[in-house]
Amino acid sequence: MVTTHNLGFPRIGKNRELKFALENYWKKSISEKDLYKSASELRRQHWSDQSKLDWLPAGDFSLYDHVLDTSFLLGNIPGRVCSRSGDRLDYYFRAARGRGVTDTASDYSINACEMTKWFDTNYHYIVPEFDKNTAFSLQAGQLIEQINEARAQGFKVKPVVLGPVTYLWLGKSKDGSNKLALLDNLVSVYAELLSTLERIGCEWVQIDEPVLVLELDQDWQHALRKAYYQLQSIPVKLMLATYFGELLNNLQLTCELPVNGLHIDAVTATDEVAKVIDWLPNHKVLSLGIINGRNVWKADLYRLLEWLEPIHSALQDRLWLAPSCSLLHIPVDLESEAALDSEIRSWLAFAIQKLDEIDILAKALNHGRSSVSSQLEENSIALNSRRQSARVHLSAVKARINKIDDKTAVRKSPYRERAIQQRSKIKLPFFPTTTIGSFPQTQKIRQARLDLRQSRLSEKEYRTLMQQEIETCVREQEALGLDVLVHGEPERNDMVEYFGEQLAGYAFTQFGWVQSYGSRCVKPPIIYGDVAHTHAISTEWIQYAQSLTSKPVKGMLTGPVTMLNWSFVRDDQSREQTCLQLALAVRDEVLALEKAGIGIIQIDEAALREGLPLRKSQWKSYLDWAVRAFRIAASGVQDTTQIHTHMCYSEFNDIIVAIAEMDADVITIENSRSGMELLSAFDQFLYPNEIGPGVYDIHSPNIPSVDSIIELMQKAAQRIPIDRLWVNPDCGLKTRSWDEVRPALRNMVAASRHLASHF
Ligand code: GLN
Ligand code: ZN
């Protein structure tokens, strides 16, 4: 008999209940007790949603983040968060977001812990902090409570914990000491944890070590061996879980670790399954993550059965089935999507539906295909409809892709020649000032959008309101004296969703929320078919803005790589193919703007870095096609049209060559928080085109002084010829208020004028 289990379930709730409970608690409109009650109701709901499985996860739920929970479980709580009065929950939220509910404005000086991307997903975790004196101590109360809670409700659970080596790997040493020196103490606390779990009657414990899919040096490989050899004496069964990629050179090591079961991501590492079966000792259970926990498509159940039946005959009871990874990364329930086109809906599976698929596969293996014949048939009908749908395959798009040649991806002349032509056409001072695109998304703007959606405003009334916003924004920028203006993006809810909604091949959900961090969620659109540009999307707005002013207005677009990385993508063609289609669609929009008389066009690639593969050895191939996609989008225009791009990060060093190959005329980039750290990237390689190193941190409400901006730009001018420098903020201003934006930009313009007259 195969056994079924799940690695983790989305916590946020079908209707984002957790988000609202948290935000209400932070606003003090509900009590701590109410918050705990909502959390426990959610857990009950989630266990009941998973109840078809043999083993349900416990401890995967989190009020904010599971890595932060692990820090609390291990007693690794940063001293500064408990230096002030408050209870454990206050400490927890201080670590997560800099403030507990008992803190008042005068207490807001505590720095929250850093947050960073969880492997190659769009989920962000709270980075554990270490120094050479870090000592761990077990604080398992909360985990035990959740296990007992599940049992009291009649659910059979296996606790989920983050493994010691991955925990260390994910953290940051604050004093530069070697994190691995903490391993012995850490493992002894894990030993105590596992003994405790065994004592309260847990049969299996899932221990996650996703670092096993990364490039590990010998020290880290050794740490894994050491940790698991030490833990093997505890008589609880360990299911070691790896996910998000192939094991490659860690395969043998992984198979040999002394645990009772191994889970691998059989979606990304399909080709490794046979090898793992060869290497895995006979007494170990193998859990295959056969259903994609990172995407929203129905699985091909017949094809999976063809593959699994012989594996099942060989492994028998040693075979377990699960999703490839925790379901944290996908929406909860497709049933909520009543408004979604029914044909497209029939192709999809969200968390709950994915677990149904596991159940069907297990039944087919355990009791024969005939025991689930109608479900299998239904699945196959849906898959056939998707394969053959005329909405998925547009021959015109495929024909265009085939016609892409080297010329499609290069500008007519090299940057140096273009720059001369652009300078004579667009007259700009030295140190020209601009912004990244968005201006404050005021309550009024959001209300107008809501009113349009709920039909309290007509399309026409909405348009008039947006035009008024654009006019206000243009007048403000003129008054501030900026050189290159923008329209301010009031009409955009989100930089990906806005464009996706108007391209063929994209579908949108109503409730498809996925946790990004804490209470924040995103609702990634779904690319289901060939992407095509069917009409001009942005021209009307940008042209309107341009009609109001004699200053140049920059047209704003979202680039193909960012559209790709912030969407759920097709699984029936490569990411690269989908990205090429997006590139052609963006190219059409760029050309439409140029034709409408817009001479400066920015193609944002905020998420280009996010798409980097986990293993460095695979970076080049990603960067090659990603850069090419950007160039295809950008290269249709005349030499005189100035192409900008924007990226919101300063970790630039390792990809600067690729970014230079994008060959944008101007790049604006984050930088102020790192104090021009990005300039160190130029030690080996000087960025060859124009660059605007962001001079002020838009994430902070603080107003940068004229002097601080001058100082940053002077540093930049030591490295980059001044005729290639721009002055701009770090990122878009949509989350700020006008009261913050006005003085900040005023200082920015003053700094630029000062610089221009002093060089
Ligand atoms: N143009 C976008 C804005 O200004 C860019 C956002 C981003 O980089 N994340 O909002
Ligand atoms: Zn940005």
Task: Report CA torsion sign: 414, 420, 426, 429.
Answer: positive
Q: Which residues contact 626 (CB under 8 A, 6 or more apart)?
A: 561, 579, 608, 611, 658
Residue 376 sits at φ, ψ, to 5 deg, of -65, -40
487 is in an annotated binding site: no
pLDDT recorded at residue 671: 81
418 & 302 share domain = no
For residue 445, being part of any structural domain is answered with yes
437 is in an annotated binding site: yes
For residue 490, being part of any structural domain is answered with yes
- For β-strands 526-533 and 503-507, DSSP reports them as antiparallel
381 & 454 share domain = no
pLDDT band, very low/low/confident/very high, at 205 (cuts 50, 70, 90): very high
693 & 600 share domain = yes
For residue 406, being part of any structural domain is answered with no
305 & 427 share domain = no
pLDDT in tens, 492-510: 989 999 999 999 999 999 9
pLDDT recorded at residue 342: 96
Average pLDDT score over residue span 368-375: 98
324 & 446 share domain = no
Closest of 550, 554, 545, 547 to residue 472, by C-alpha: 545
Ligand 1 center–CA 699 separation, angstroms: 12
Average pLDDT score over residue span 199-217: 98
369 & 488 share domain = no
Ligand located closest to 498 CA:
1
The pLDDT > 70 percentage for the chain reads 99
Quick one: three-class SS letters along 575-602? HHHHHHHHHHHHHHHHHHHHHCCCCEEE
Q: What is the DSSP letter of 704?
A: P
For residue 556, being part of any structural domain is answered with yes
Domain boundary at 318, 353, 388, which?
388
122 is in an annotated binding site: yes
pLDDT recorded at residue 227: 98
CB-based contacts of 406-412 (< 8 A; 24+ apart in sequence) = 408/632, 408/635, 409/628, 409/631, 409/632, 409/635, 410/631, 410/635, 410/663, 411/634, 411/635, 411/637, 411/639, 411/643, 411/663, 412/638, 412/639
Q: What is the DSSP letter of 514?
A: E
Domain boundary at 323, 355, 388, which?
388
pLDDT recorded at residue 674: 66
Residue 419 to residues 265, 271, 372, 423, Cα–Cα distance (Å) = 49, 49, 66, 6
Ligand 1 pocket test, pick from 556, 586, 696, 697 with the greatest ligand atom count within 8 Å of Cβ, gives 556
pLDDT in tens, 136-166: 999 999 999 999 999 999 999 999 999 999 9
For residue 99, being part of any structural domain is answered with no
For residue 189, being part of any structural domain is answered with yes
**Rg over CA atoms, the chain:** 27
The pLDDT > 90 percentage for the chain reads 92
347 & 207 share domain = yes
pLDDT recorded at residue 654: 86
Average pLDDT score over residue span 229-240: 97
pLDDT recorded at residue 759: 80
Closest of 418, 560, 518 to residue 21, by C-alpha: 518
pLDDT band, very low/low/confident/very high, at 675 (cuts 50, 70, 90): low
Provide the number of structural domains found in the chain: 2
738 & 693 share domain = yes
pLDDT band, very low/low/confident/very high, at 335 (cuts 50, 70, 90): very high
pLDDT in tens, 512-531: 999 999 999 999 999 999 99
Pocket lining: 556 vs ligand 1, CB cutoff 6 Å: yes
Q: Using the atom order of ligand 1, give the atom closest to the CA of residue 734.
A: 10
The end-to-end CA distance of the chain, in Å, is 78
Pocket lining: 492 vs ligand 1, CB cutoff 6 Å: no
What ipTM was predicted for this assembly? 0.99
371 & 418 share domain = no
For residue 83, being part of any structural domain is answered with no
722 & 575 share domain = yes
pLDDT recorded at residue 121: 95
Per the structure, the complete domain to which residue 480 belongs is given by 413-502+537-758
User: How confident is the prediction for the chain on average, in pLDDT?
Assistant: 96
pLDDT in tens, 258-285: 999 999 999 999 999 999 999 999 999 9
Q: Which residues contact 629 (CB under 8 A, 6 or more apart)?
A: 559, 560, 561, 564, 576, 579, 580, 582, 583
For residue 300, being part of any structural domain is answered with yes
CATH number at residue 221: 3.20.20.210
702 & 744 share domain = yes
pLDDT recorded at residue 676: 67
Cβ atoms within 10 Å, residue 377: 12
379 & 422 share domain = no
In whole angstroms, give the CA distance from residue 604 to residue 602: 6
Ligand 1 pocket test, pick from 496, 556, 562, 604 with the greatest ligand atom count within 8 Å of Cβ, gives 604
pLDDT recorded at residue 686: 87
Please check the confidence at residue 108 and state whether its pLDDT lies above 90.
no
Domain boundary at 373, 388, 403, which?
388
